[in-house]
């Protein structure tokens, strides 16, 4: 009889990361919602092209992003879940999942693109249009912080996998 598989080598870890990512995104979205509304209004008032030509887009962004923006966390979490399972499958093919840290490493690697996307949206995107400003403030900022939170969670699991990722020995 074989020993039970440790939880840190379980294929359910990406599902747990999905829950953490979606929850963290929604929490960050609502925590920064007032600040995002203020920052968006500041950009709108400062960029002449938006004031002169983008008033219709401003209304659309203000109607949808603050109301439904938190649901983007589910989308990013689902995309992360898909990427995590693809990486987990590749790791299984080359037998990296046999290592104590294999599953948690695939989880960490699946989160990196979302952290880079969030960072890129927040720190290097132009806000020359109302839609771009809405994406930066209502999608990019929550994605950046939620990715960091989920990466931190995955990193802790990665470190724990060195100690608890081995099967328990039979007595």
Evaluate whether residue 169 is within a structural domain.
Answer: no
pLDDT given for residue 128 in this prediction: 77
Evaluate whether residue 6 is within a structural domain.
Answer: no
Report the 3 state secondary structure along 126-143: CCCCHHHHHHHHHHHHHH
More confident residue, 164 or 104: 104
The answer to whether the beta carbons of residues 11 and 129 sit under 8 Å apart is: no
Residue 98, number of CB atoms within 10 A of its CB: 10
Three-state DSSP at 100 gives: coil
Evaluate whether residue 63 is within a structural domain.
Answer: yes
With a pLDDT cut of 90, the percent of the chain lying above it is 52
Question: Is the pLDDT at 36 greater than 60, yes or no?
Answer: yes
CA-derived radius of gyration, the chain: 20
Mean predicted confidence (pLDDT) in 3-15 = 79
> Alpha-carbon distance 139 to 73, whole Å?
9
> Alpha-carbon distance 39 to 46, whole Å?
11
The domain of 138 spans: 11-164
Counting the structural domains of the chain, the total is 1
pLDDT given for residue 22 in this prediction: 95
Sort 43 into a burial class: Cβ within 10 Å, 0-12 / 13-18 / 19+.
buried
Evaluate whether residue 2 is within a structural domain.
Answer: no
């Amino acid at each position: 009889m074989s020993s039970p598989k440790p939880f840190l080598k379980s294929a359910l870890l990406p599902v747990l990361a999905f829950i953490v990512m979606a929850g963290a995104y929604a929490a960050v979205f609502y925590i920064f919602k007032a600040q995002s509304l203020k920052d968006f209004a500041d950009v709108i008032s400062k960029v002449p092209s938006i004031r002169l030509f983008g008033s219709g887009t401003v209304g659309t962004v203000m109607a949808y992003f603050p109301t439904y923006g938190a649901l983007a966390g589910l989308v990013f979490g689902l995309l992360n879940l898909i990427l995590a399972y693809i990486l987990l499958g590749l790791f299984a093919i080359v037998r990296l999942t046999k290592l104590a840290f294999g599953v948690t490493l695939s989880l960490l690697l699946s989160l990196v693109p979302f952290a880079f996307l969030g960072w890129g949206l927040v720190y290097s995107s132009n806000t020359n249009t109302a839609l771009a400003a809405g994406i930066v403030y209502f999608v990019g900022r929550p994605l950046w912080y939620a990715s960091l939170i989920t990466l931190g969670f995955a990193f802790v699991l990665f470190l724990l996998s060195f100690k608890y990722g081995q099967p328990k020995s039979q007595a």
